[in-house]
Amino acid sequence: MTSTRTTTSPSTPSPRRAPARPAALALALAVLASLLVGAPAASASGGAEPAWLRPAHLVPDLGAMDIRLSPFTDEGGTTPAEDKPLLETTAAYGAVGQYGPVPAGSYAVSVRPAGTPVSEPALLSLTIDLEPGAAYTVAGLGTKDAPRLERLVDDLTPPAQGTAKVRLLPASLAAPTVDVQAEGGPVLAQGAALGQPTSYAAAPAGSWTISARGASASGSTALTLDPGTVYTLLVLDSSGGSLAVQPVVDAVGMGTAPVGGAATGFGGLADDAAPSTAPAVVLAATAALGLLLLTLAALRGRGVAPAAALRGRRPAGR
C-alpha cells in the first residue's frame, strides 16, 4: 500500500482562524448581570403594589367574632371562596388588628360568632374594593342590636413636623355622643357619635391626659402622641361604667408602610395571595449562565483567550 503524506511548505503560512466576535459573550454577561442584580428587587416586590387592610371589632356587648376576607370565585362577584380566605382572624370587642398586604381588587368580608363554620350564614357581610397602595380598616360598628360592617379609608399621610395626626372612633354604649379633649390642650372632637369616625386632624406631639365625656359617662387616659405618627383614638366602654381612650398607631414616620405592614396581619396571608417572580428570575439567570459557559468553551476551542474576546474592536484610528 502506498501512503500519501501531505507537507506544508515553510514559506506558505498556515491559515489562521479569525478571532471570535465578542457579541455573544458580552450579551451573555450583560443578561446574567442584570438578572442577578434585579433578582432581589423582583422577589421582594412580588408584582403590583398591594393594598393594606386590618380588622376592627368595635361593637359593644357583641362577643368574639371570626372575621374573614375572601376572594370571589366568579367575575360577577357573587360567590366568595370563604373556605379559602386570604385573611382571617378572631377578634373581641375593642380589638384592632395589624395591617396585612392584600392584592388590590374586590373581596367579600364576613363576620360570624367565633367558631361558627363558614357553611352557616354570616352575621355580617360586605363587599369591598381595595385600591393599590391605599390603607383601610374594615370595622364592625354600631350596636349589638344593629351592627354593621364598614370599610374605613385610613389617611396615613405624615403630619407636619413636630406634630401628630389623630382621628376619633367612638365605640361606647355608655356615651352615644362624646367630647374628647387633651387636658390643657386642644379639643379633639365634640359631639362625636357612636360608630362614626371623625376626620384626621393635627395635634401637638407630647404627653397628654385625654379626657372623654358623654352625657352619663366619662373617663381619662394618659398617653403620649409622638411626632410624625398617625393615630386612631378609640373611645370604649370600660369597667364601672367609665370611658377609656385607647390609642391605635396607624403609621409612624414618612415613607413607611402602615404599622404591622411587615407582618402578615389579620391572622395570616395566604401563600398564593401575592405570587413571587423569583422562580422566573432564577430560570432566566440559569439560561444566561449556560450561554456564558458555552461561549467560553467555544472561545477556548478556537484558541482565543476570553480577555481578548472581551476587548473586541477598537475605534478606527486608534
DSSP code of 287? H
Give, in degrees to the nearest 5, the angle at Cα 69 between 63 and 70: 130
Cα 291 from Cα 285, distance rounded (Å):
10
Residue found by looking up cell 379609608 in the block: 153
pLDDT of 54 reads 96
Q: Which three cell numbers stand for residue 150?
A: 364598614
What would the CATH number be for the domain defined by 157-253? 2.60.40
Q: Are 73 and 80 in contact (CB under 8 A)?
A: yes
Gap between the Cα atoms of 251 and 231, Å rounded: 7
Give the C-alpha separation, 136 to 169, whole Å: 14
How many helices (H) and strands (E) the chain has is answered by 3, 17
Residue of 53, 41, 42, 47 whose CA lies nearest to 260: 53
Model confidence pLDDT, tens digit, residues 147-180: 999 999 999 999 999 999 999 999 999 999 999 9
Partnered with residue 213 across adjacent β-strands are 179, 218
Measured CA to CA, the distance from residue 33 to residue 201 in angstroms comes to: 48
Q: What is the DSSP string of 11-74?
A: TSPPP-PPPPPSHHHHHHHHHHHHHHHHHHHHHHH-SSPPEEEEEEE--TT---EEEEEE-BSS
Counting as low any pLDDT under 50, the low residues of the chain are 1-20, 25, 28-29, 31-45, 261-264, 267-286, 304-318
**Topology of 48-155+258-274 in CATH?**
Immunoglobulin-like (2.60.40)
Strand partners, 55: 138
- pTM reported for the whole predicted model: 0.69
| Region at 266 (left for phi over 0; alpha for psi -120 to 50; beta for the rest) | left
Rg over CA atoms, the chain: 32
Residue 290 pLDDT:
54
